């Protein structure tokens, strides 16, 4: 008998019976959407869910649907912003979820939208539309879907309820003022999980998925300590996905070694294998050459063992890596853009060098504070190889 008693409990699509510490958010969402889902049509329910990765936004939306689907007169359409980003693929995915035959291309944006609206009206369909991780969409695309729900003269009634998910207020601030006004009031916040909260989540997950006696509370506490936030304002931590991932890997390690119990050493080893601040989803979404540039930063930091790498050095290594992969290097200014983007996404930090740091003139120094470099290198290399296959 192994340690992992139920693999499904650790799969990304698993929705646990209970969501400790998300009762309030679930209640808020139910207040906004519950009534409409039962008898839709007379208003436009909408909400923006905000919180750092791993704070339970997706699972809470799935739970809401699980609770209400039995009595719902609307259908659930889920769009993953990491997978579907441009307008045509989003509309295509909505149509597919609703079994609407739809041309794949050849129409303008307005024509696509008009076609979708027509189908909704003619088939008398109501849609609970979830735009998950919607910060991946250009603001004008997000605006279009936000406004769609208001088009009652075309839709015949209020046929759409909308939940948009983001990491921070930026997603709202990027919208034009009048669209922002439509979403503005209905914000549901997901604060980073504290250590105690992560502990509770891990305990339930362990009970559901691991063999009795294979884990101790100390093991769960240890994982909670390295992943949980000090306070709800500490946005560098508090990621339940990461905590569950470490638990799963630790269980796996112990099981593979033929042991019946997870040890602290299993936790230590597993936590070195996972990414901390950055989620893999974010990395996957980066353009190929941004990944190559980031790989250059990682490799330089690894070989020099210094806390910082200069932009110039990273650029040199980037060119070598491009050669290795048979890719034409992007120009200097493009690399600057990548640098800015990587910083904005919280993957790297940058600062200007100070006098006496061994470099002449002004240089930008790049560091990576939160990630084990080996893990980051392995993940990036795997993604790049797959992309170039």
Full 3-state SS string of 96-110? HHCCCCCCCCCCCHH
User: What whole-number distance in Å separates Cα of residue 115 and Cα of residue 133?
Assistant: 25
Strand (E) or helix (H) holding 326? none
Which of 36, 37, 44, 53 is close enough to bind ligand ADP by CB under 6 A? Answer: 53
206 is an interface residue for ligand ADP by CB under 6 A: no
Residues 2-21 that bind ligand ADP (CB under 6 A): 16, 19-21
Among 58, 214, 227, 300, binds Mg ion (CB under 5 A): 58
By the rule CB under 6 A, 136 interacts with ligand ADP: no
Concatenate the DSSP letters of all residues of 276-318 into one string: SSS-HHHHHTS-HHHHHHHHHHHHHHHHH--S-EEHHHHHHHH
Contact 83, 90 (CB under 8 A): no
Region near Mg ion per CB under 5 A, out of 34-42, 57-65, 147-155, 241-249: 57-65
Single out the residue of 28, 58, 227, 270 in contact with ligand ADP (rule: CB under 6 A).
58
Considering beta carbons, is residue 190 or 308 the nearer one to ligand ADP?
190
- Determine whether the annotation assigns residue 227 to a binding site: no
> Where in 21-40 is the site for ligand ADP (CB under 6 A)?
21-22
Q: Are 80 and 133 in contact (CB under 8 A)?
A: yes
Minimum CB distance to ligand ADP, residue 163 (Å): 12
Q: What is the largest CA-CA distance in the chain?
A: 72
> Do 319 and 332 touch, CB atoms closer than 8 A?
no
Query: H or E stretch including 125?
Result: none
Q: Which residues are within 8 A (CB) of 303 and not within 5 positions of it... i.e. 6 or more apart?
A: none
Interface residue with ligand ADP, options 127, 223, 244, 365 (CB under 6 A): 244
204 sits in which H/E element: helix 195-209
Which of residues 48, 55, 255, 270 is near ligand ADP by CB under 6 A? 55
Residue 212 in tokens: 């009795």
- Total residues contacting ligand ADP by CB under 6 A comes to 18
Binding piece for Mg ion, criterion CB under 5 A, among 53-61, 76-84, 174-182, 204-212: 53-61
- To the question of whether residue 205 is assigned a binding role by annotation, the answer is yes
Q: Which residue is nearest to Mg ion (CB)?
A: 58
Place of tokens 């509770």: 200
Minimum CB distance to ligand ADP smaller for 167 or for 289 = 167
81-109: burial string, b at 16+ Cβ within 10 Å, e else = beebbebbebbbbbbeebebebeeeeeee
59 is in an annotated binding site: yes
- Asked whether position 240 contacts ligand ADP by CB under 6 A, the answer is yes
Residue 223 within binding range of ligand ADP, rule CB under 6 A: no
Instruction: Select the residue interacting with ligand ADP from 45, 51, 139, 277 (CB under 6 A).
Output: 51
Q: At what angle do helices 217-227 and 195-209 cross, to 10 degrees?
A: 130
d(CA 338, CA 350): 12
β-strands 75-80, 127-132 pairing: parallel
Q: Which residue of this chain has its Cβ atom nearest to ligand ADP in the complex?
A: 56
> 166 and 115 in contact (C-beta within 8 Å)?
no
Residue 90 touches ligand ADP, criterion: CB under 6 A = no
Q: Determine if 54 is a binding residue for ligand ADP (CB under 6 A).
A: yes
Stretch that binds ligand ADP, among 52-60, 262-270, 304-312, 319-327 (CB under 6 A): 52-60
Single out the segment in contact with Mg ion by CB under 5 A; choices: 50-58, 71-79, 167-175, 237-245: 50-58
DSSP bridge partners of 242:
none
Site for ligand ADP, rule CB under 6 A: 16, 19-22, 51, 53-59, 190, 201, 240-241, 244
Binding-site positions for ATP read: 55-59, 193, 205
Residues in contact with Mg ion by CB under 5 A are: 58
Annotated binding-site residues read 55-59, 193, 205
């Amino acid at each position: 008998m192994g340690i992992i008693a139920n693999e499904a409990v650790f799969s990304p699509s698993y929705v646990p019976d209970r969501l400790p510490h998300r009762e309030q958010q679930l209640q808020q969402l139910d207040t906004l959407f519950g009534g409409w889902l039962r008898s839709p049509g007379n208003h436009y329910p909408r909400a923006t869910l905000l919180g750092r990765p791993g704070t339970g936004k997706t699972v809470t939306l799935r739970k809401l649907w699980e609770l209400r689907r039995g009595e719902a007169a609307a259908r659930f359409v889920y769009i993953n912003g990491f997978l579907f980003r441009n307008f045509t693929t989003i509309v295509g995915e909505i149509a597919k979820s609703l079994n609407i035959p739809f041309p794949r291309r050849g129409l303008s944006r307005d024509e696509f939208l008009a076609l979708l609206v027509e189908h909704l009206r003619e088939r008398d369909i109501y849609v609970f539309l979830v735009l998950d991780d919607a910060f991946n969409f250009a603001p004008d695309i997000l605006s279009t879907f936000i406004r769609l729900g208001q088009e009652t003269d075309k839709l015949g009634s209020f046929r759409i309820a909308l939940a948009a998910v983001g990491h921070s207020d930026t997603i709202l601030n990027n919208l034009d003022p009048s669209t922002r006004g439509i979403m503005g009031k209905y914000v549901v916040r997901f604060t980073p999980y504290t250590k105690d909260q992560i502990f509770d989540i891990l305990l339930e997950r362990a009970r559901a998925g691991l063999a009795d006696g294979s884990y101790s509370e100390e093991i769960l506490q240890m994982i909670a300590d390295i992943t949980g936030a000090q306070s709800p304002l500490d946005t560098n931590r508090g990621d339940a996905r990461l905590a569950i991932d470490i638990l799963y890997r630790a269980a796996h390690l112990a099981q593979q070694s033929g042991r019946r119990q997870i040890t602290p050493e299993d936790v230590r080893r597993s936590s070195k294998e996972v990414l901390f601040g950055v989620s893999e989803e974010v990395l996957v979404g980066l353009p190929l050459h941004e990944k190559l540039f980031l790989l250059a930063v990682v490799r330089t930091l690894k070989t020099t063992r210094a806390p910082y790498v200069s932009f110039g050095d990273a650029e040199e290594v980037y060119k070598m890596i491009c050669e290795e992969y048979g890719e034409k290097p992007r120009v200097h200014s493009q690399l600057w853009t990548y640098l800015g983007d990587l910083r904005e996404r919280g993957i790297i930090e940058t600062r200007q060098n100070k006098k006496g740091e061994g470099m002449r003139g002004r240089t930008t120094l790049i560091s990576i504070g939160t990630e084990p470099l080996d893990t980051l290198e392995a993940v990036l290399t795997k993604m790049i190889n797959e992309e170039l296959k």
